[in-house]
Amino acid sequence: MSFEGEQYPGVQAPPGETEGFRLNHTMLRVKDPEAALGFYTRVFGMRVLRRLDFEAMQFSLYFLARPEAGETVPEETGERTVWTFSQRGVLELTHNWGTESQEGRIYHDGNAQPQGFGHICFSVPDLEAAEAWFDANQVEFVKRSDQGKMKDVVFVKDVDGYWIEVVQADRLSALGD
Amino acid sequence: MSFEGEQYPGVQAPPGETEGFRLNHTMLRVKDPEAALGFYTRVFGMRVLRRLDFEAMQFSLYFLARPEAGETVPEETGERTVWTFSQRGVLELTHNWGTESQEGRIYHDGNAQPQGFGHICFSVPDLEAAEAWFDANQVEFVKRSDQGKMKDVVFVKDVDGYWIEVVQADRLSALGD
């Protein structure tokens, strides 16, 4: 029998009406797209699938993902837009035009008050290698893997100050025990 | 030649050090896990892959996903934890014990000031059917598909007030043109 999900108060079996629903992306506002794109493409190896510009509303959206080996991203832009909105694990960065000229960080990370959103998380094959890579790129750490109560869990900040958790999946089998 | 990503100032080619990096999950704090699990399992058809309890720090984490047809989720909990942290498109809900007894919504959605995080997004096969499903479940709308400047894009709120965008991928081929 296949796994049907852990059961807790409130949990319901997936209704048929939700067939084909897919968690596609998470949107974060960024101050300076050049800095944010530099960070996510270099430090986390993401690619820009699509930029969408909305002149009337004065903003641009950048959709980033890290296509897996064997996945073919369509070249044609319309097809690529449809493909982008059909995937899982996409990051959308919103740039409100003109914010890049402001001083310092301008967006709220959700971990300071008022709280809400906490972080995004990347899974990596080798946590120490990833930490060394972050150091080589002068990435700001919130917590290293040997610090705090949760060992084997790293938190860094992106250029806007959002928290990024970084884990190595096969080291977490006993987490929460 | 395969698609290498759109090129903008700041964009770099994915370095070899990022091989195997994968955007695994997004974390949102929720006030009442029974209400949040009821919402995400019923309205969006997600399943609880793992709950992790941290007694010393007085919080629990719930990891939810909507496994695709053909994907086999491991039954054994340790293997299932590793599997959970190896996927894309996972939603992590954090429950700080005791918040469920507070009145009203207690978390910040990131769209009111101070801004930061914007939304998560689900892709669905049929946008009108999804809207009817949300109505049948008394889901609160921010914007319906026929409202506002961006047609074919729906925004609803989850039980904590976070925004969820809902799109039908094959209707968005001309978006941004």
> Which residue range(s) make up the domain with B159?
118-176
Measured CA to CA in angstroms, residue B31 lies from B35, B101, B102, B105 at distances of: 8, 8, 8, 7
Same domain, B124 and B157: yes
Q: What is the ipTM of this complex?
A: 0.97
User: Residues with Cβ < 8 Å from A135, sequence gap 6 or more?
Assistant: none
User: How far is the alpha carbon of A101 from chain B, nearest alpha carbon, in Å?
Assistant: 16
What backbone phi and psi angles, to 5 degrees, belong to B171? Answer: -100, 5
Residues A131 and A63 in one domain: no
Q: Write down the pLDDT at residue B55.
A: 94
Domain assignment present for residue B31? The answer is yes
pLDDT given at position A97: 98
- Specify if A112 maps to a domain: no
From the list B2, B8, B9, the residue facing A72 with the nearest CB is B2
Which DSSP state fits A86? T
Residues of B in contact with A10 (CB under 8 A): 33-38, 41
Opening angle at CA A70, ends A69 and A71, nearest 5: 95
Which residues of chain A are within 8 Å of residue B107 when distances are taken between CB atoms?
114-116
Profile chain B (177 residues) by mean pLDDT over runs of 10 residues: 87 96 98 98 97 95 92 94 96 98 98 98 98 98 92 96 98 86
- pLDDT for position B143: 97
Q: What is the mean pLDDT of chain A?
A: 95
CATH number at residue B136: 3.10.180.10
Are residues B137 and B90 part of one domain? no
- A158 with A64: CB under 8 angstroms? no
Beta bridge partners of B91: B26, B64
Instruction: Give the minimum alpha-carbon distance from A158 to chain B in angstroms, rounded to a whole number.
Output: 13
- Unique residue bearing structure tokens 């939603």: B91
Strand residue runs (E) in chain B:
22-29, 47-54, 59-65, 90-96, 117-123, 140-143, 153-157, 163-167
* Inter-residue contact B84 to B63 (CB < 8 Å): yes
pLDDT of residue A163: 98
> What is the rounded distance in angstroms from the CA atom of residue A163 to the CA atom of residue A159?
10
Q: Which of B6, B17, B19, B165 is catalytic?
A: B165
Is A119 annotated to bind a ligand? Reply is: yes
Q: Do A75 and B3 touch (CB under 8 A)?
A: yes
Is B16 inside a domain boundary?
A: no
Residues with pLDDT less than 50, chain A: 1
Total number of domains constituting chain B: 2
Query: Is the CB of A173 less than 8 angstroms away from the CB of B79?
Result: yes
Same domain, B31 and B94: yes
> Do A82 and A122 share a domain, yes or no?
no
DSSP run (H or E) holding B58: none
Identify the pLDDT of residue B176. Answer: 76
Confirm whether A106 is domain-assigned: no
A64 with A127, same domain: the answer is no
Clarify whether A165 is annotated catalytic: yes
Domain for residue B40, yes or no? yes
Nearest to A124 by CA among B18, B83, B78: B18
Domain identity same for A130 and A94: no
Task: Answer whether B123 sits within 8 Å of A173, measured CB to CB.
Answer: no
pLDDT for the residue B1: 47
Residues A80 and A36 in one domain: yes
Q: Is residue A15 part of a domain?
A: no
Domain identity same for A30 and A61? yes
- The reply to whether B31 and B62 lie within a common domain is yes
- Domain assignment present for A51: yes
Q: What is the DSSP letter of B47?
A: E
Whether B84 and B27 map to the same domain: the answer is: yes
* Residue B129 within a domain: yes
Q: Same domain for B161 and B130?
A: yes
